[in-house]
Amino acid sequence: MADAAPAKSEPSMSRSYLWGPLSAFGLVIAAVACLADQAVKFWLLVVMHLNSQAPVVLTPFAELVLTWNTGISYGLLPQNGPVGPWALLGVKVAAVAFLWIWLVRTHSRLTALALGLIIGGAVGNAVDRLHWPGVMDFVLLHLDTARLSLRWYVFNLADVAIVAGVVGLLYESLRQGGAAKAP
């Protein structure tokens, strides 16, 4: 009687749920986005001392200003008590976990790139919540004319990564003729 062929090693269930074909790529993108965000914030605070100076004019429509966002996007639902910031952090952790599951299951490099940007931006802002009074925002875009003054919300590099990631997901969903599949 011939020896039975060795059983194929099947990937463990935990591995399939926690790691996918593009997880490393998405993780590198997330790490770069988060580290770039934190490095810029560190530089603005420690080298430029943005916290102790008036707005820095970059162009006629852009300035560097320091604000601490204690709420969610655009300063909505500001949290000043001891529970609110932790609740927002918990929501962020849940969102990152959901995005990671989506990343593990994707086979599209564009989706992995977009999800990595969103995850990196979310983690960058979450790091701020852990050691600052809120999320550090510093870019102010504005348009001032004789009749009109428009000011966008102050934002940071993590916010740019999140928006770029969302744009990437929207582009992919339009390019494929259907929405990018979330888990």
Q: How confident is the model at residue 76 (pLDDT cuts 50, 70, 90)?
A: low
Nearest to 92 by CA among 71, 113, 114: 71
Sign of CA dihedral 38, 39, 40, 41: positive
Answer yes or no: are the C-beta atoms of 124 and 157 closer than 8 Å.
yes
Q: How confident is the model at residue 135 (pLDDT cuts 50, 70, 90)?
A: very high
- Say if residue 178's pLDDT is above 60: no
Q: Which residues are catalytic?
A: 137, 159
Looking at residue 3, what is its pLDDT? 56
Nearest to 133 by CA among 91, 87, 78: 78
- Say if residue 147's pLDDT is above 80: yes
Total length of the chain: 183
Q: What is the pTM of this model?
A: 0.83
Amino acid at 36: A
Measure the CA–CA gap between 62 and 12, rounded to whole angstroms.
Answer: 51
Measure the CA–CA gap between 120 and 5, rounded to whole angstroms.
Answer: 45
**At 64, which helix (H) or strand (E)?**
strand 62-69
Mean pLDDT computed over 97-112: 96
Looking at residue 25, what is its pLDDT? 98
H helical segments located in the chain: 13-18, 23-42, 84-105, 109-131, 157-175
Question: Dihedral angle at the C-alpha atoms of 102, 107, 113, 115, nearest 10 degrees?
Answer: -10
